[in-house]
C-alpha cells in the first residue's frame, strides 16, 4: 500500500502503544451497534451494581408484560374457533350476530347467553388468565362494591351469588384476586392497565421534555451572551409560576385526556434539564476541539450536535430515570386529586384516592400503594446504578 510505504519511509515510529512490534495493527472491527470501550465499561459498572441491574430486568419484564395487557386481563377472549372460522375478539370487534346472537351491537363475551350460544356450537374459546378488562364491571358481586378479594370471602357472603349461579361454594366463583373497586371493577386488571399507562405517560413525557430541554439548554449554553441571559430570565419567571394551580385551572377548563395532560405537564417539565445541559455546553464551547472545529469552518449546528451533545448526554442520561419517576409521580398525584386522566381510565392515582375514600376496603389502598412503591423503587434503583455507572471517579471492586 502506497501510504504505508510512505509511513515507513518517514522512519519515525510513533512513540508507544497503538502500534505493535511489527509496526502493523489489525484494524479493529467496527460494527454498527458496537459499544465504544467507554460505554462498555459503563455497562460493566452498571452490571456490577446488582440491585440496579436486577431492578432494570424486573422493570423491563413488568413493562413488556404490561404492554400486552390485552392478552392478560381482558373481557374479550383472544381466540374463538367456531364452525370452521377463527375469530380474534381481542383485536377485532365482532357483532353479536356473528356468533348467532340477536343484536348488531358488539358482542359481550362475558354474557352467559352468548357463552351458551358458542358452547352449543362446540366453539373453542381461549380466554386470557384474567377475564376482566380495566372497565369491566363484575355483575355478580357477592358483596356491595368495593368487594373484597374472592379468597377472603366467607361462605355466608357469597351464598346469594353461589345459589343464583348454581355453584357449590365461594371457591368456584370467578376470582377477583385483589377484590374490586367501588364500581365493581377488578383491581388486578386496573393495576396492570394503570401501570402501563403510568409508565407510557412517564416515558413520553420524559423523552419529549428531555428533547425540548436539551435543545433549549444547548442553544443557551452554546451561544451564551444575550441569548443565554434572556432565556435564563424567561425560565426563572416561567418556573416561578405555581404549576400545580395552573394545572388545576387548565384541567377544569379543558377536558384532560392523555395528550392534553401530556401537553400541560410538558409546559413545565422541560426546564428540568436546561440548567444541566446549559452548563455542559458553556463549559464545552471553549474546549480546544470546539475551537479546532470552528477553525475548520464546521457549522454551529453541527458542532453542537456532533461535538458538544455527546458531552451533555452523560448528565442527561444520569437524570433520565429520576425524571421518569417524577413524571409518574406527577400523573399519579393529579389523578389522586381528580384532575388527571378522564374518569374511567385505569390509573394508580385514582386507585389511591378510592383507597382513601374507602378505608374499610384496605385492598384498594394497599394494592395501589404497593404497585406504586415497587415501580418507583425500581426506577430509583435503576437511576442510582446509571448514575454510578456514568461516574468516572467511582471505583468498583
Partner 1 sequence: MSADEQPLLSVRDLSVAFGSGSREVLAVDRISFDIRKGETLALVGESGSGKSVTALSIMKLLPYPAAHHPSGSVLFKGQDLLPMPERDIRHVRGNDITIIFQEPMTSLNPLHTIEKQVGEILLLHRGLTGEKARQRIIDLLTQVGIPDPETRLQSYPHQLSGGQRQRVMIAMALANEPDLLIADEPTTALDVTVQAQILALLGDIQKRLGMAILFITHDLGIVRKLANRVCVMSKGRIVEQGEVERVFTAPEHPYTKALLAAEPKPDPAPPMPDAPVVVQTDDLKVWFPIRRGVMRKVVGHIKAVDGISIDIRKGETLGVVGESGSGKTTLGLAILRLISSAGPVAFMGQPLQGLNFKAMRPHRRNMQIVFQDPYGSLSPRLSITDIVGEGLEVHHPSMSAAEREQRVIEALADVGLDPQTRFRYPHEFSGGQRQRIAVARAIVLEPTFIVLDEPTSALDMLIQAQIVDLLRDLQKRRDLTYMFISHDLRVVAALASRLVVMRNGKVIEQGAAADLFRSPKSDYTRALFAAAFKLETAPLDVVAQ
Q: How many residues does the chain have?
A: 397
Q: Work out how close the CB of 317 gets to partner 1 at its nearest, in angstroms, rounded to a whole number.
A: 14
Does residue 310 touch partner 1 according to CB under 8 A? yes
Whether the Cβ atoms of residue 190 and residue 74 lie closer than 8 Å to each other: no
Q: Within a 13 Å sphere around the CA of 250, how many CA atoms are in the beta-carbon half?
A: 17
30 near partner 1, judged by CB under 8 A: yes
Size, binding site for partner 1 by CB under 8 A: 41
- Tell me if 298 contacts partner 1 by CB under 8 A: yes
Q: Who contacts 92 (Cβ-Cβ below 8 Å, separation ≥6)?
A: none
Binding segment for partner 1 among 51-59, 296-304, 321-329, 348-356 (CB under 8 A)?
Answer: 296-304
- Please, is 142 exposed, middle or buried when counting C-beta atoms within 10 Å of its C-beta (0-12, 13-18, 19+)? buried
Least Cβ distance, residue 130 to partner 1 (angstroms)? 48
Nearest approach, Cβ of 276 to partner 1 (angstroms)?
Answer: 18
Cell of 310: 455527546
Residue 4 CB, nearest distance to partner 1 (Å)?
Answer: 7
82 near partner 1 (CB under 8 A): no
Does the footprint of partner 1 cover residue 10 (CB under 8 A)?
yes
The answer to the question of residue 23 lying near partner 1 (CB under 8 A) is yes
**By C-beta, is 36 or 360 nearer to partner 1?**
36
CB of 281 to partner 1, least distance (A): 14
Please give the grid coordinates belonging to residue 250.
387548565
* Interatomic CA distance for residues 381 and 65, integer angstroms: 20
- The span from the CA of 202 to the CA of 326, in Å, is 8
Residue 226 binds partner 1 (CB under 8 A): no
The answer to whether 255 contacts partner 1 (rule: CB under 8 A) is: no
Contact between 397 and partner 1 (CB under 8 A)?
A: yes
- The contacts of residue 319 (CB under 8 Å, 6+ apart) are 272, 273, 276
Query: Edge-to-edge strand order for the sheet containing 124-126?
Result: 85-87, 79-82, 124-126
Query: Residues 44, 36: contact at Cβ < 8 Å?
Result: no
Pairing of strands 85-87, 124-126: unpaired
Q: Distance between alpha carbon 390 and the CA centroid of its chain, in Å?
A: 22
Nearest CB to partner 1, comparing residues 154 and 300: 300
Question: Contact between 26 and partner 1 (CB under 8 A)?
Answer: yes
| 28 counts as binding partner 1 under rule CB under 8 A | yes
Does 297 engage in binding with partner 1 (CB under 8 A)?
A: yes
Residues lying near partner 1 in the complex (CB under 8 A) are found at: 3-4, 6-7, 10, 12-19, 23-28, 30, 36-37, 287-289, 291-300, 306-307, 310-311, 395, 397
Amino acid at each position: 500500500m502506497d501510504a504505508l510505504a510512505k509511513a515507513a519511509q518517514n522512519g519515525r515510529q510513533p512513540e508507544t502503544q497503538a502500534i505493535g512490534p511489527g509496526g502493523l495493527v489489525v484494524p479493529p472491527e467496527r460494527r454498527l451497534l458496537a459499544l465504544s470501550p467507554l460505554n462498555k465499561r459503563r455497562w460493566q459498572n452498571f452490571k456490577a451494581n446488582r440491585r440496579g441491574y436486577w431492578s432494570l430486568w424486573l422493570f423491563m419484564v413488568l413493562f413488556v408484560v404490561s404492554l400486552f395487557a390485552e392478552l392478560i386481563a381482558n373481557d374479550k377472549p383472544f381466540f374463538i374457533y367456531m364452525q370452521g372460522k377463527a375469530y380474534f375478539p381481542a383485536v377485532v370487534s365482532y357483532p353479536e350476530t356473528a356468533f348467532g346472537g340477536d343484536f348488531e351491537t358488539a358482542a359481550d363475551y362475558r354474557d352467559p347467553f352468548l357463552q351458551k350460544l358458542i358452547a352449543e356450537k362446540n366453539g373453542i374459546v381461549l380466554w386470557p388468565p384474567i377475564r376482566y378488562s380495566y372497565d369491566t364491571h363484575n355483575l355478580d358481586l357477592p358483596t356491595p362494591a368495593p368487594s373484597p378479594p374472592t379468597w377472603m370471602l366467607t361462605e355466608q357472603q357469597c351464598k346469594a351469588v353461589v345459589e343464583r349461579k348454581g355453584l357449590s361454594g365461594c371457591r368456584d366463583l370467578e376470582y377477583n384476586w385483589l377484590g374490586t373497586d367501588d364500581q365493581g371493577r377488578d383491581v388486578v386488571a386496573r393495576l396492570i392497565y394503570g401501570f402501563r399507562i403510568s409508565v407510557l405517560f412517564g416515558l413520553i413525557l420524559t423523552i419529549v421534555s428531555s428533547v425540548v430541554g436539551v435543545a433549549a439548554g444547548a442553544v443557551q449554553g452554546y451561544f451564551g451572551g444575550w441569548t443565554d441571559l434572556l432565556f435564563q430570565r424567561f425560565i426563572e419567571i416561567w418556573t416561578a409560576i405555581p404549576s400545580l394551580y395552573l394545572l388545576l385551572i387548565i384541567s377544569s377548563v379543558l377536558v384532560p385526556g392523555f395528550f392534553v395532560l401530556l401537553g400541560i405537564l410538558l409546559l413545565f417539565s422541560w426546564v428540568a434539564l436546561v440548567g444541566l445541559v446549559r452548563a455542559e455546553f458553556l463549559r464545552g464551547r471553549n474546549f480546544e476541539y470546539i475551537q479546532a472545529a470552528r477553525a475548520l469552518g464546521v457549522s454551529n449546528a453541527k458542532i453542537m450536535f456532533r461535538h458538544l451533545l455527546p458531552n451533555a448526554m452523560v448528565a442527561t442520561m444520569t437524570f433520565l430515570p429520576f425524571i421518569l419517576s417524577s413524571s409518574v409521580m406527577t400523573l399519579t398525584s393529579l389523578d389522586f386529586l381528580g384532575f388527571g386522566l378522564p374518569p374511567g381510565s385505569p390509573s394508580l392515582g385514582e386507585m389511591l384516592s378510592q383507597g382513601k375514600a374507602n378505608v374499610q376496603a384496605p385492598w384498594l389502598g394497599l394494592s395501589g400503594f404497593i404497585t406504586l412503591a415497587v415501580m418507583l423503587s425500581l426506577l430509583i434503583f435503576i437511576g442510582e446504578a446509571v448514575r454510578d455507572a456514568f461516574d468516572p471517579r467511582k471505583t468498583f471492586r
